[in-house]
Amino acid sequence: MRWTDRQRAMLLEMGIRLGPEPPGAEPVAVVAPPAAEPVAVPAAVRDGAAPAAQPPAAVAAPPPATAAPVAFVSTTRVAHMDWPELRATVAGCTACRLCQGRTQTVFGVGHLQADWMIVGEAPGEQEDRQGEPFVGKSGQLLGNMLRAIGLTREDAPATQQVYIANTLKCRPPGNRNPQPDELAQCEPYLIRQVALVQPKIILAMGSFAVQSLLRNTEPIGRLRGRVHDYHGVPLIVTYHPAYLLRRPEEKARAWDDLCLAVETARQAAK
Ligand code: SF4
């Protein structure tokens, strides 16, 4: 695989530089010297930094303020919802304890028929405030990772613009780790988002997202490097950008994961 000058620049933004590229040889990803460490946080999903770029135009309008409260999630009912009903239902959801501390739900953003779906873990403080997943420094790194493989979270065709959602739509208080019952309560919403988007590939980022989606308690290190399945969609596992900010030496592995995802998406498109 050969890289364009633009991709090389984006890899540098990820903190990865490519070694010399001898004729006919695959380039070698080399981790750049660690950048300044961000403040440590209790869970991989949380970081605190500047706002991310504006949401893409394909994002649906905000939910009606009058959305009826949902005291429990009916999987069957959710499975038949269209986008407006799903969005309104999530906005009014009180099915688990996380509704008590949220500023707002964080539904998801991006192209509603995207080829690529990015699934993170749970909203952090800034996501809770802004109502958008992956903002701040981790959102910036995600943007760089996406650009390195020709994708974007900005307004673009479905082949390029991703759809981004979290496994949990509400922020755990104090940025604590998500609880299994909370993940289970919220999953029907994500399953419906996947069914509506019909992506060709899912990139799951972070241990809670990965373990929740795959029903597997193994660490990411043991689950990455192969193609999984989530409701009929190929799923690739990788590290959460917030984790990569704390452990920049893992960026080369994340790049391997992105390359596997690109190849898997290519195969799925045939
Ligand atoms: S986390 Fe999910 S299930 Fe829990 S209240 Fe929020 S939207 Fe409902």
Tell how far the Cα of 71 is from the centroid of ligand 1, in angstroms.
9
Instruction: Report yes or no: 4 and 141 within 8 Å, Cβ to Cβ.
Output: no
| pLDDT computed for residue 156 by the predictor | 98
On whether the CB atoms of residues 193 and 226 are closer than 8 A, the answer is: no
Ligand 1 atom showing the smallest separation from residue 122 Cα:
1
User: Atom 4 of ligand 1 has which residue's CA nearest to it?
Assistant: 96
Query: Whole-angstrom Cα distance, residue 162 to residue 153?
Result: 6
Q: Which atom of ligand 1 is nearest to the CA of 70?
A: 8
> How far apart are the CA of 112 and the centre of ligand 1, in A?
21
**What lines the ligand 1 site, CB under 6 Å?**
73, 90, 93-96, 98-99, 105, 168-170, 182, 185-186
pLDDT at 94: 95
pLDDT tens-digit map of 99-126: 999 999 999 999 999 999 999 999 999 9
The answer, yes or no, to whether residue 233 has pLDDT greater than 60, is yes
Q: Hey, which of 86, 97, 100, 105 would you mutate to test ligand 1's pocket, going by the most ligand atoms within 8 Å of its Cβ?
A: 105
Identify the pLDDT of residue 9: 57
In the chain, % of residues over pLDDT 70: 74
pLDDT in tens, 198-217: 999 999 999 999 999 999 99
Given this model, what pLDDT does residue 74 score? 84
**CA angle 221-224-229, nearest 5°?**
140
Q: What does the pLDDT read at residue 2?
A: 56
Residue 3: predicted pLDDT: 60
Question: Residue 268 — pLDDT band, cuts 50, 70, 90?
Answer: confident
- Confidence category of residue 269, pLDDT binned at 50, 70, 90: confident
- Evaluate whether 140 touches 3 at the Cβ level (below 8 Å): no
Does this model's pTM top 0.85? My answer is: no
* The pLDDT value given to residue 204: 98
Nearest to 53 by CA among 158, 151, 142: 142
Distance from the CA of 194 to the center of ligand 1, in angstroms?
A: 17
- In this model, does residue 231 exceed pLDDT 90? yes
Mean pLDDT of the chain: 82
pLDDT of residue 270: 79
Distance CA 170, CA 183 (A): 10
**Cα dihedral: 243, 249, 253, 258 (round 10):** 60
What are residue 229's phi and psi, to 5 degrees? -135, 135
Q: Looking at 9-23, 28-42, 54-68, which range is the least confident one?
A: 28-42
Nearest atom of ligand 1 to the alpha carbon of 185: 3
Written as one letter, the residue type at 59 is V
Could you tell me the pLDDT band of residue 255, with boundaries at 50, 70 and 90?
Answer: very high
The SS3 of residue 165 is: strand
